[in-house]
Structure 1
């Protein structure tokens, strides 16, 4: 788990950029405080910050490897973990290749020499990496199947740069001649969805390599992208009486994944909330580490904490448990720092307590496991039950359906049945765009007067829906969330908040072998008996304590609604809006009016307000340079 930077120059002047690369690494010190280094030849320069987890004494990067006739043909810089690296090394050694380290990075570059671009099909793990071939003068880069690890890039007439964090590219803007204009389309997508969807970033000239994609580029050329992983939920009916076979397959796959994710030369802990996902991971991890430490966080406000449930779970599975309580003051003070770490804003209030629990965990361990991805793979969001409740509408004649839809739109807001009628007569492609449903278009135009309908969420979701027409309704929603909410929100906050604290987060649910089982689960094994993730719950009956097994999903409860209406955050929010130099983006008078309506109880605008406030803080840091995020930049020697 580290921070990488790779620059392919267009004019063969890589040595001239070495100092700039070394300086830009400082922005990612938090991703790899254990070691740093740069390497260059005529066309390429690599930089790397290392968080040493496996083969600590060796496996330094940028890593050089090559066959016997050209032993330094390739250079690799790699962020992530390959959990089947032992098996890959054995397979490649049997094919006649020699290794110089015991780490998990070298099998990538040896595999690239052996399989070419298809090496990604052999990797089980989370990764973003760049390989430079000094012989063919070709740069090859890739991201893991689900997008667990980030990879930004930008191209100018001076070259193309890849980096784990956007801020390192921004740091090199002058040397690269990189424009720093904001992308209006990406801004609208952010406000609409609460995150910036891939491959966009809020800066026009900086993009992201998408999850499950590889890219190739030659000096002076353009980035060519190929998708190697297209998730598909191919639901398969379970014969009556054979349900337990499915549950056993799920349990075996997850246990095997956790076992692989425990591979490390440092101590591995686990996050633990009040839900089934993290509890299942912690319980399985305990089998491989009897002294497992678990961590959770909560708030001072009663009713907004899963601390008690997590403590009960920790006692039931027999692990030592550590709790971090976050106060409103800590929350507000950390926001600028967190927006700096994020690179682009994510309007999810739960990322703040995640930052604090990661900070606490880093005092004790260097790696933690967590339960991200279970909801998307196994059907865990409450909204996934909606196709059942709306099924009767599918039987209505088309003309009647359209008429009822028109009627629903003229009914008064808040009228009983209005929402059900409107959603039931609206096609899924128009009504569901992931878990980020804060603004309708009228509300969006209230705060973004320049918003365009052709730039709304459908621009992001339409291609994903078009590829899922053969899936059942829940599978279509899961597939959408895999490409939107999960990689735009869930995995961004997981990576950035943990790496901000030099803590490696591993997510055993997001494993290729777990997905191979999850993608086959039929509709009636995801949503059944009034609950979600039914098959997963059945698979975990002998692993997860009973008080958690059928507990209703709560997400991560943050008292944002109360704080923005009360003394805790109202004043801070008001000052943030007034001081922000975003008058050309937001209708600030309307945002202030929404804040007043929220305080007065007219309407709950908490998520909408938080979306705008997060952007304003981000803008104050990266555009206005008015807000100091109070980051302690560490200086360290860079070995050339």
Structure 2
């Protein structure tokens, strides 16, 4: 895994800006870096070497003068190489970047649909006056970009764009959306006013002061249903084992982040089967809330992995929270991001990539407890309203009463409704929930995994995004995804039968956990919250008396979701200088 930047225009001197922007990505690529200048533009890359350690340096120059920087992994690299060799291509390294460059030269824009992998590509024109940005089908690897009167640039994380001239101001509508949903972007607009996030499966062209976006990939959830469940479980197990095999291919060790839940446990068990070498697994918990470690240890003993456990104190948590916010220049959405970051720093001494279970809930019915609360009988506007209500951390009433200026709230709600409505436009009514979970919720999970793992110099791979697994899942009838005996994801549990201990197969869903009550009742949590509350952004956002009421209510109920978002925004202001709202 790596990081990349591309600059077409900047208000500052290009060489200095490019070096500064690339330096901000150092944790993503500690094994080497490169910069190429072309006309007024520049493109840069820093590398975390997992394949062909001696080759694979980037950026690379194509025969027509374009410059390519590639972040990600091609899991069908061998197949693509054979096809290209039949067309006359010759290769001098084992790097998939060389494969990609040859594919682009021969197939042009048809290349993207031939790729099985996660990728974020930047193609700088020969004269450096424009850049094409290409994102993978599901948005596993992000590209952020800034296109203003003075700046045209793209990067793997927003902090680099601030170095390029993006203004350090919060976007009012996206900021209120964050408070409502904990999502750091609304459609493509991030909480930073000058920074946007590419949509999955799209191509963005930055040229002059314009940015043009087109989709290269069709949206999922338009397939027909597959066969009966008793046949599907064995097929799912086969498809997952194939996905794990492809995504564990590397010249460096690959491990598993093991929460002890079903999703990561089945990946660990399958990896141990398809790769006989000793498997390394990693688990993390917050001090005072370590029950999950018992389950991850149980799985580790079953599959005989080399297992590492990490217990994070509140003091360590908030120290790493500050590091992560400063590194990415974004507020955090969930406390689990900090735990993943801590675990990545620990794991990087023995592996360079990990498999993670994101996507299983969205594809295989992990959120059916929400279905009864959002059911709308095909009325998608009502469905959208209920979907957001059950997934919101701040209610609309809370925000209307507590904001100093609630005027942008209506725009935030309407913009979000329009965006979700577009995501549902081609969806079947009986799959509305799965569609939004996969098209909306899932991309934010992937963004959090990428940001947290890469800040710790670890590549996160997600086998549940394998095209064959996704195609299988979206064709399943809803009946195959309904809970069985009170447990969600029955088909995935059946696929794991015989691989995992019965205790894990019967265990209800629970993700990597970080108890907010432990954090905010600790001394360090109180200090960090008080520091956050003094920041100008928080003082401008909230009415003082209502803010105090919210905090008191959270402490009385010991449910600290709103407190978490307020604290994260305040630290974002303190660490990244984002105090103005526009």
Query: TM-score of the superposition, structure 2-length normalised?
Result: 0.92
Decide whether aligned partners of structure 1 residues 624 and 380 sit closer, same or farther in structure 2, where only a CA change above 3 A counts: closer
- Whole-angstrom CA distance in 2 between matches of 1:577 and 1:275: 36
Decide whether aligned partners of structure 1 residues 21 and 568 sit closer, same or farther in structure 2, where only a CA change above 3 A counts: closer
Which of 434, 439, 447 is matched with 2:402 structurally?
Answer: 447
Decide whether aligned partners of structure 1 residues 17 and 574 sit closer, same or farther in structure 2, where only a CA change above 3 A counts: closer
Decide whether aligned partners of structure 1 residues 334 and 217 sit closer, same or farther in structure 2, where only a CA change above 3 A counts: closer
SS in 2 for 1:251: helix
2:136 aligned with 1:144: yes
* 1:453 shift after superposition: 4.3
Alignment of 1:209-288 (within 5 A): 209-218=198-207, 220=208, 222-234=210-222, 236-237=224-225, 242-287=228-273, 288=275
- Whole-angstrom CA distance in 2 between matches of 1:256 and 1:120: 21
- Whole-angstrom CA distance in 2 between matches of 1:513 and 1:158: 43
Which stretch shows the higher mean deviation, 102-111 or 370-379? 102-111
Decide whether aligned partners of structure 1 residues 450 and 581 sit closer, same or farther in structure 2, where only a CA change above 3 A counts: closer
SS in 1 for 2:8: strand
2:34 is matched with: 37
2:314 and 2:522 in contact (8 A); partners too: no
- Whole-angstrom CA distance in 1 between matches of 2:219 and 2:442: 13
Q: Which residues of structure 2 form unaligned runs of 5+?
A: none
SS in 1 for 2:464: coil
Q: Which residues of structure 1 form unaligned runs of 5+?
A: 399-424, 626-640
The number of residue pairs the alignment matches comes to 575
Which stretch shows the higher mean deviation, 193-202 or 80-89? 193-202
Alignment of 1:304-315 (within 5 A): 304-315=290-301
Decide whether aligned partners of structure 1 residues 314 and 188 sit closer, same or farther in structure 2, where only a CA change above 3 A counts: same
Which of 92, 117, 136 is matched with 2:84 structurally?
Answer: 92
SS in 2 for 1:432: helix
Structure 1 residue runs of 4+, over 6 Å off? none
1:46 is matched with: 43
2:277 is matched with: 290
SS in 2 for 1:215: strand
1:18 and 1:38 in contact (8 A); partners too: no
2:331 and 2:572 in contact (8 A); partners too: yes
* 1:348 shift after superposition: 0.6
- Whole-angstrom CA distance in 2 between matches of 1:579 and 1:206: 22
Alignment of 1:389-408 (within 5 A): none
Which stretch shows the higher mean deviation, 355-364 or 539-548? 539-548
SS in 1 for 2:170: coil
Which of 537, 552, 572 is matched with 1:618 structurally?
Answer: 572
Decide whether aligned partners of structure 1 residues 140 and 571 sit closer, same or farther in structure 2, where only a CA change above 3 A counts: closer
2:133 and 2:143 in contact (8 A); partners too: no
Which stretch shows the higher mean deviation, 428-437 or 205-214? 428-437
2:190 is matched with: 201
Alignment of 1:103-118 (within 5 A): 103-118=95-110
SS in 2 for 1:375: helix
- Whole-angstrom CA distance in 1 between matches of 2:295 and 2:339: 17
2:548 is matched with: 592
1:608 is matched with: 562
- Whole-angstrom CA distance in 2 between matches of 1:45 and 1:135: 10
* 1:469 shift after superposition: 5.8
- Whole-angstrom CA distance in 2 between matches of 1:114 and 1:43: 27
- Whole-angstrom CA distance in 2 between matches of 1:469 and 1:41: 42
1:365-403 CA-to-partner distances (Å, cap 9, x unmatched) read 11111111111121212534426xx77x969xx9xxxxx
Which of 382, 386, 398 is matched with 2:372 structurally?
Answer: 386
SS in 2 for 1:484: helix
1:155-175 CA-to-partner distances (Å, cap 9, x unmatched) read 2445521111111111121xx
Decide whether aligned partners of structure 1 residues 221 and 584 sit closer, same or farther in structure 2, where only a CA change above 3 A counts: closer
- Whole-angstrom CA distance in 1 between matches of 2:127 and 2:566: 49
SS in 2 for 1:6: strand
Decide whether aligned partners of structure 1 residues 59 and 426 sit closer, same or farther in structure 2, where only a CA change above 3 A counts: closer
Decide whether aligned partners of structure 1 residues 136 and 306 sit closer, same or farther in structure 2, where only a CA change above 3 A counts: closer
SS in 1 for 2:541: coil
- Whole-angstrom CA distance in 2 between matches of 1:621 and 1:225: 32
* 1:182 shift after superposition: 2.3
1:297 and 1:305 in contact (8 A); partners too: no
Decide whether aligned partners of structure 1 residues 588 and 513 sit closer, same or farther in structure 2, where only a CA change above 3 A counts: farther
1:406 is matched with: none
* 1:457 shift after superposition: 4.1
Q: Which of structures 1 and 2 has the bigger CA Rg?
A: 1
SS in 1 for 2:507: coil
* 1:486 shift after superposition: 2.0
* 1:521 shift after superposition: 1.0
1:560-600 CA-to-partner distances (Å, cap 9, x unmatched) read 1243245462343234313555322222442233222333x
- Whole-angstrom CA distance in 2 between matches of 1:300 and 1:9: 47
2:123 and 2:133 in contact (8 A); partners too: yes
- Whole-angstrom CA distance in 1 between matches of 2:527 and 2:9: 48
Query: TM-score of the superposition, structure 1-length normalised?
Result: 0.84
- Whole-angstrom CA distance in 1 between matches of 2:576 and 2:33: 25
2:371 and 2:433 in contact (8 A); partners too: no
Taking only aligned residues, the RMSD between alpha carbons, in angstroms, comes to 2.7
1:300 is matched with: 287
1:358 is matched with: 344
Decide whether aligned partners of structure 1 residues 203 and 379 sit closer, same or farther in structure 2, where only a CA change above 3 A counts: same
1:191 is matched with: 179
